Amino acid sequence: MRNILDFLIKYSHWALFILLQLVAAILLFRFNSFQGSVWFTSASEVAASVTKVSAEVTRYFGLEKMNRDLTERNVRLMQELRYYKELVGEKVHDNDSLIVIQGMQKIVRTDSSVVAIKEPPKLMDRSYVVCPARVVNISVRRFDNYLAIDKGESSGVCTGMGVISGMGVVGIVCRTSKNYSLVLPVINSVSSISCKIARTDYFGFLKWEGGDPLTAFMTDVPRHAEYEIGDTVVTSGHSTVFIEGIPVGTVMSKDDSDDEMSFTLGIHLFTDFGRLNDVYVLALPPREELIELEKDIKY
């Protein structure tokens, strides 16, 4: 008996090791599920309030580039605005607020500064609200990347909302705390966002398989789809997360899928996650009927 006790005491660190290993394993595997606690993430109140301070400091180093992007974007928006003024034949005030936007136009991006507009905007039947937020923590190097933003439940952000930036689509909110949220970006291996080729309206899913944070893939594109290298890819608006027409990237290359039933297109993403600072959370009015319907047919 004494020997057994001695043995147990001598090797009790093994028991502790196995126990801790189990806890770690549970944390590891549980985290991959889409919904879960915000507790052990960078969007938890304590961790996010710490990284927020460092994010505020590092923001200043990117200001020059940010300024250049904003100027570029301004020029593009001014060109669009002039086009619409002429189209509508009405005088539009320059100081119109962009808090509530109605509808979005199809833009074919031919060059970084030159924009050709394919067709006049269709006004959509629902408007959506954008909530500006700042990135407080982001990873781009890993296989499963996440980012934390400084808006949470207290600002009306909830899971399943879309996140965009001035550059293009960013991702989907997956966990929220009171003042912060965790976002599952395009550059996460489990991310899948419905998108389409802007010019020809063919659909596919935006996926990412690790590696270069600027290169993603558009899978399940039908083999008869018409596209050209350089075509713009935008969100399809089929989900309740994103509205139609948010820029995603440009077509870069073509591959056969494994089963050779569809194409997989290489996509050069517009959003550069390496220098992402300001984002917007999209709050679309809930489409209960659609959500209910999708629940029913899930198998």
Partner 1 sequence: MTATWVDKIRWFVILVLVQGVIISQIQVSRYAVPLLYVVFILKLSSDTGRKALLLYSFFIGLCVDIFGNTPGLNATASIWLAMARPSLLRWQTSRDASGSFVPGIKSMRVWPFLRYVLPCVFLHSAVLNTIDTFSVARATDIVIATIADTIVTVVLIMVIEFVWRKK
Q: Are 159 and 173 in contact (CB under 8 A)?
A: yes
**Is 75 near partner 1 (CB under 8 A)?**
no
Whose Cβ is closer to partner 1: residue 107's or residue 140's? Answer: 140
**Please, what is the minimum distance in Å from the beta carbon of residue 28 to partner 1?**
4
The stretches of the chain forming alpha helices (DSSP H) are 2-10, 12-31, 45-59, 63-88, 288-297
Phi, psi of 252 (to 5 degrees): -115, -40
**Is 34 near partner 1 (CB under 8 A)?**
no
CB atoms under 10 Å from CB of 60, counted, come to 9
Name the one range near partner 1 by CB under 8 A: 41-49, 79-87, 195-203, 279-287.
Answer: 41-49
**Is 40 near partner 1 (CB under 8 A)?**
yes
Name the one range near partner 1 by CB under 8 A: 13-21, 109-117, 156-164, 247-255.
Answer: 13-21
**Is 16 near partner 1 (CB under 8 A)?**
yes
List CB contacts of 32: < 8 A, sequence separation 6 or more: 144, 190
Identified binder of partner 1 from the candidate list 146, 242, 270, 280, rule CB under 8 A: 146
List CB contacts of 91: < 8 A, sequence separation 6 or more: 85
Identified binder of partner 1 from the candidate list 49, 54, 67, 102, rule CB under 8 A: 54
Name the one range near partner 1 by CB under 8 A: 39-47, 94-102, 110-118, 198-206.
Answer: 39-47
Whose Cβ is closer to partner 1: residue 146's or residue 227's? Answer: 146
Whose Cβ is closer to partner 1: residue 20's or residue 261's? Answer: 20
Closest residue by Cα to residue 199 from 248, 223, 233: 233
**Is 87 near partner 1 (CB under 8 A)?**
no
What are the E-state strand segments in 139-277?
147-149, 162-165, 169-176, 181-185, 193-197, 203-207, 215-222, 232-235, 247-256, 262-269
Identified binder of partner 1 from the candidate list 101, 140, 158, 214, rule CB under 8 A: 140
One-letter identity of residue 138: I
Closest residue by Cα to residue 129 from 94, 164, 159, 105: 164
Query: How far apart are the C-alpha atoms of 55 and 227, rounded to whole Å?
Result: 40
Query: How far apart are the C-alpha atoms of 196 and 202, rounded to whole Å?
Result: 5
DSSP characters over 36-50: --STTSTTSHHHHHH
- Report residue 261 as tokens: 């039933």
- Binding string to partner 1 for residues 170 to 199, with x set by CB under 8 A, is what? ------------x-----------------
Which residue(s) pair with 108 in the sheet? 116
**Please, what is the minimum distance in Å from the beta carbon of residue 151 to partner 1?**
17
Name the one range near partner 1 by CB under 8 A: 8-16, 93-101, 110-118, 277-285.
Answer: 8-16
**Is 49 near partner 1 (CB under 8 A)?**
no
Identified binder of partner 1 from the candidate list 8, 27, 78, 114, rule CB under 8 A: 27
Q: Which residues bind partner 1 (CB under 8 A)?
A: 12-13, 16-17, 20-21, 23-31, 40-42, 44, 47, 50-51, 54-55, 58, 137-144, 146, 148, 182, 210-211, 274
